[in-house]
Amino acid sequence: MFALGWFGGRWLARVDADSAVDAPARHSRRVVHNAGEAIIAADETSRIVLANPAAAAMFGVTTQQMQGSPLSRFIRAPAADVESPLEYFQADGRAGRRGTDYAGIGLRANGEPFAIEGSLADTLQDGHTVYTIILRDVSERQRVQRKLARSHDQLRQLSAALQTIREEERTHIARELHDDLGQLLASLRMDLTLLRTECGASPNLGRLIDGMDGNLLTAITSLRRIATNLRPRALDEGGLYFALQGLREDFTLRHGIVCELLADEAELRLDDQASTAIFRIIQEALTNIARHAGASLVTMNLYRINSELLVTIRDDGRGISEEDMEKAESLGLVGMRERVWGLKGEITISADESPGTRIDIVLPVADHTV
């Protein structure tokens, strides 16, 4: 049969006369020869003793050119302090068993490097160890992965830009509503007050004026609520702490859910970018709680540790499942994550404390402190 044998200090192919074993050996050799994946066998000195056509084609040479050559001619050791790829396998604890996802660099005949990935197994023949490496050219896969990563980064940048534009538009509209329309409605109320004085004590006219005044007051209240939802003036005039206080009070008033804010004003003096992002994150969290949690108590805790701001939002509602967090239509959670990642922070949403949901956010704010 055909096999590798150690003769005269080197590996040679040998033929045994045992016909009972000859057929399986020839079959194994044909399997290696016709395999679609590149297969290389190397001895203990990292010299190639066998290479199939797929391996030769991968490196742009012939099988004859590969046999007897040092393995380092075709595979560069991935670690700077390791001379041979085989040493890397052995140092990584992979010798003696199949190791998967071994990453390295292949060298084509013209010296062009390319990304490879492979597995190693060793066998003992004639008292010597033979290492068999199965290789895959992953350069195209890595190129696609890099392209996808670039696309992902561009989408992140686009999302951040759109959020900035949206916030600027909200700010502009809120100011227009408050400064222009709000002042106009307030002026109309003053005119009605003067009209009531001029008209005397006519009952019918008085009722009409009172009704108009009530409608104007309702319009003013609605206008202030809409403007605050678009962009709270407290965020620009008082800072994040007072904006969150207003958000907490409005949340309790509208939904009847007790909401506690544990924070120090001095620790929340941040620039507009960070203040707006944190406010929107908490606003979205409260919106989700009001819609889905069925909670009776919400606690918001914000505190600084060195250069990081830690935000914890907890409720005593029904909790959130893994399926809910992975739903494509959970745009609120997606928006929260994008805002956190936009500040290079981390967010964790869990329901491990029954009952209820807990949101933990860590934000680096050293560059956002004012």
List pLDDT tens digits, range 175-212: 777 777 777 777 777 777 777 776 666 666 777 777 77
List pLDDT tens digits, range 34-46: 777 888 888 888 8
Q: Lowest mean pLDDT of 211-215, 278-282, 300-304, name the range.
A: 211-215
Model confidence at 104: pLDDT above 70: yes
pLDDT number for residue 301 = 92
Q: How far apart are CA 247 and CA 66, in angstroms?
A: 72
pLDDT number for residue 86 = 66
Q: Return all residues near 140 (Cβ < 8 A) that are at least 6 apart.
A: none
Q: How far apart are CA 50 and CA 33, in angstroms?
A: 10
Is there a contact between 5 and 126 (Cβ–Cβ < 8 Å)? yes
pLDDT number for residue 197 = 72
**DSSP single-letter state for residue 317:** S
Model confidence at 101: pLDDT above 60: no
pLDDT number for residue 329 = 55
What CATH code is assigned to 2-137? 3.30.450.20
pLDDT number for residue 5 = 47
Model confidence at 216: pLDDT above 60: yes
pLDDT number for residue 138 = 85
Q: How far apart are CA 327 and CA 52, in angstroms?
A: 48
Rounded to a whole number of angstroms, the CA Rg of the chain reads 36
Indicate the CATH number of 235-370 among 3.40.50.2300, 3.30.565.10, 3.40.50.12280, 2.40.70.10. 3.30.565.10
- Of the chain, the end-to-end C-alpha distance in Å amounts to 80
Average pLDDT on 237-255 reads 88
Q: How far apart are CA 98 and CA 52, in angstroms?
A: 19
Q: pLDDT band for 25, please (50, 70, 90 cuts).
A: low
**Burial environment of residue 370 by CB neighbours within 10 A (0 to 12, 13 to 18, 19 or more):** exposed
Q: How far apart are CA 77 and CA 58, in angstroms?
A: 17
Within a 10 A sphere around the Cβ of 70, how many other Cβ atoms?
Answer: 13
Question: Across all residues in the chain, what is the average pLDDT?
Answer: 77
* pTM for the whole structure: 0.57
- Residue from 283, 272, 270, 261 nearest 365 by CA: 270
With a pLDDT cut of 90, the percent of the chain lying above it is 2
pLDDT number for residue 78 = 61
Could you please report the per-residue DSSP string of 176-234? HIIIIIHHHHHHHHHHHHHHHHHHTT-HHHHHHHHHHHHHHHHHHHHHHHHHHHH--HH
Q: Is the peptide bond before 232 cis (omega within 30 degrees of 0)?
A: no
Structure tokens at 210: 């009172």
Structure tokens at 61: 């040479």
Residue whose entry in the numeric block shows the structure tokens 């250069």: 307
Q: Return all residues near 319 (Cβ < 8 A) that are at least 6 apart.
A: 351, 354, 355, 356, 357
pLDDT number for residue 310 = 92
pLDDT number for residue 92 = 46
**Could you state, in order of their start, the residue ranges of all structural domains in the chain?**
2-137, 139-231, 235-370
Q: pLDDT band for 16, please (50, 70, 90 cuts).
A: very low
232 or 67, which is more confident: 67
